[in-house]
Amino acid sequence: MPGRTSARNVAGVVTGASAVTLFEADVRLASRLAFRIKPATKALTALSIEVLAHFDDGSTDWATLANTTAEFTSPSGDILAATIDLTTLAAGTNGHCKVDVSGWAKVRVRVTAATAGTCAYAYAVE
């Protein structure tokens, strides 16, 4: 519902060299997504924000919205704000990001680390 906030605060496991989906959210009725991420034990080596336009038709064609240093250090377009380069976030460091998700059906955040570790994260959709 417009104007309604949905939030989650959880911990996940980053398995290592392969990208894993940290979270996926339905944003059909949302305009913004904000998230915090804190790798607990291992630094991130990659982070991507991906979107899906139409999932009701069975589509799995995720599009990359952001995955480079510049997209987080000089946010523009759909990336409204970021506190730090999220693609190489050091262990023990908090990173925050705010994304315009209007017009998308789903959004997911995928991360990679050099080796397995844990990662705390929280997100809110409004």
Tens digits of residue pLDDT in 54-63 = 766 667 789 9
Mean pLDDT of 69-81: 96
The answer to whether residue 97 scores a pLDDT higher than 60 is: yes
Task: Give the pLDDT of residue 80.
Answer: 97
Beta bridge partners of 107: 25, 51
CATH fold for the domain made of 6-125: Jelly Rolls (2.60.120)
Task: Give the pLDDT of residue 52.
Answer: 92
Task: Give the pLDDT of residue 2.
Answer: 47
All residues at 6 or more sequence positions from 48 whose CB lies less than 8 Å from its CB, including other chains:
19, 64, 65, 66, 67, 109, 110, 111
**Residue 103 near residue 94, CB atoms below 8 Å:** no
What DSSP designation does 17 have?
S
Half-sphere exposure of 30 (CA within 13 A, CB side): 22
Where is pLDDT greater, at 121 or 68? 68
Taking only the tens place, the pLDDT of each residue in 64-74 is 999 999 999 99
Tokens representing residue 77 in the block:
């377009």
**Residue 111 near residue 19, CB atoms below 8 Å:** yes
Tokens representing residue 54 in the block:
């139409």
Mean pLDDT of 106-115: 89
